[in-house]
């Protein structure tokens, strides 16, 4: 691909849909969060969390929308979204497993736990990176330290932390998630 085509493709990647809208109640919540701070930009992380909770990820459209709200350039928020691993730039599953791979957890068996999770969910344990099941229900991700090293191995399911996790614990969690998903 020549340089000109590459530039055109990059421009296409950066293009955002102009018809992006968010529900009025979510916008009201964003406004309320912003009003808590003396400077709008101080609400950046809170606003990004709100948008991610609603959309399950931060799309280029959401990022641009938030930047306007906060009187910032999109790059200012892009830096946050790419720095903090809790933000996603692609949709993740309804149930998101984060397995800690840092030293204490690795020694305590987190690599085996991730492999077990992938196998239980029909994902490929040999692939690196974030994986989501075809039905979009489960995501498995390896992450760095979850700050509970003395209780390794540690796994997070959505916002909840599970310490000293065993394969049996994961089996039980998967079962609960599937039951909840069928409701």
Q: Does 113 bind ligand FES (CB under 6 A)?
A: no
Q: Does 104 bind ligand FES (CB under 6 A)?
A: yes
Angle, to 10 degrees, between the axis of helix 74-83 and the axis of helix 60-69? Answer: 120
The greatest distance separating any two alpha carbons of the chain, rounded to the nearest whole angstrom, comes to 54
Q: Does 148 bind ligand FES (CB under 6 A)?
A: yes
Task: Tell me how far apart the alpha carbons of residues 66 and 121 are, in angstroms, rounded to a whole number.
Answer: 34
Three-class SS state of 146: coil
Least gap, CB of 114 to ligand FES (angstroms) = 12
Q: Which one of 49-57, 131-139, 143-151, 172-180 is the stretch in contact with ligand FES (CB under 6 A)?
A: 143-151
Q: Does 157 bind ligand FES (CB under 6 A)?
A: no
* Residue with smaller CB distance to ligand FES, 69 or 114: 114
Q: Does 102 bind ligand FES (CB under 6 A)?
A: yes
Q: What is the length of the chain?
A: 183
* Residue with smaller CB distance to ligand FES, 3 or 147: 147
The candidate with the shortest Cα–Cα distance to 130, out of 92, 94, 158, 165, is: 92
* Residue with smaller CB distance to ligand FES, 88 or 98: 98
Neighbour count for residue 65 (Cβ, 10 Å)? 21
Q: Does 145 bind ligand FES (CB under 6 A)?
A: yes
Task: Tell me how far apart the alpha carbons of residues 77 and 69 are, in angstroms, rounded to a whole number.
Answer: 11
In the complex, the residues that contact ligand FES under the rule CB under 6 A are 100, 102-105, 145-149, 152, 154
């Amino acid at each position: 691909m020549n340089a000109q085509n590459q530039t055109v493709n990059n421009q296409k990647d950066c293009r955002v849909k102009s018809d992006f809208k968010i529900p009025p109640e979510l916008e009201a919540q964003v406004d309320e969060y912003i009003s808590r701070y003396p400077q709008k930009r101080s609400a950046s992380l809170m606003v990004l969390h709100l948008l991610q909770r609603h959309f399950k990820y931060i799309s280029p459209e959401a990022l641009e929308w938030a930047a306007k709200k906060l009187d910032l350039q999109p790059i200012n928020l892009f830096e946050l979204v790419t720095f903090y691993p809790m933000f996603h730039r692609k949709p993740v599953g309804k149930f998101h497993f984060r397995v800690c791979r840092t030293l204490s957890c690795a020694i305590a068996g987190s690599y085996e736990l991730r492999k077990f999770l992938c196998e239980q969910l029909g994902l490929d344990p040999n692939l690196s990176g974030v994986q989501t099941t075809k039905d979009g229900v489960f995501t498995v991700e390896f992450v760095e330290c979850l700050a509970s090293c003395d209780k390794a191995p540690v796994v997070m399911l959505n916002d909840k932390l599970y310490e000293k996790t065993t394969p049996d614990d994961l089996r039980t969690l998967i079962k609960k998630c599937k039951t909840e998903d069928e409701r």
